[in-house]
Amino acid sequence: MGEKDSSTDSDVDKYQEKLGKTKDNFIIQGRTSFKFIPHSVKVYIDVDFDEGARRVWQSLKKDPAARNEGDIPTFTECKRSVRERIASDKKRYKKYYNINVYNKKHYDIVIDATKKTPEQVADEILKRIKIVSR
């Protein structure tokens, strides 16, 4: 839908831009946040494709309504869906903003979360933010 209707992205992006101009000291997750909140510490959390797809699959098995992927009956279909989502992201954000949200050069901190728990990722972010903000 986002490839045909920019409002699915632009409404959220306008909100982020306003938030970045009016608020301070907050955490936000978003693919385009680095662009719309430029005066921030930008963190990219990377993961091996297969591990990322496995995590999506586990999430879908626990709660199919928790994500907007729809009905995905197999892990193979889940991997296909994740690939399609990444391709759609790249296409949309290039079209609307001329950016590649997956290009790590846009970020101050890049963390490989493939073999880390969420708690380990959070700890690493906090440690590295302290270094970046000095």
CATH number at residue 41: 3.40.50.300
Is 113 within the bounds of a domain? yes
Distances (CA, A) of 102 to 26, 32, 52, 89, 93: 22, 10, 14, 9, 10
Enclosing domain of residue 28: 7-132
Look at the chain and report how many structural domains it folds into.
1
Q: Which helix (H) or strand (E) holds 95?
A: helix 75-97
pTM, to two decimals: 0.85
- The pLDDT of residue 27 is 92
Q: What percent of the chain has pLDDT over 90?
A: 73
- The pLDDT of residue 2 is 72
**Average pLDDT of the chain?**
90
CA–CA distance, 129 with 134 (Å, rounded to integer): 9
Q: Residues 38-64: pLDDT tens digits?
A: 999 999 999 999 999 999 999 988 887
Is 2 within the bounds of a domain? no
Is 1 within the bounds of a domain? no
Average pLDDT over residues 106-131: 94
Q: Residues 5-24: pLDDT tens digits?
A: 777 788 899 999 999 999 98
Residue that wins the pLDDT comparison between 130 and 99: 99
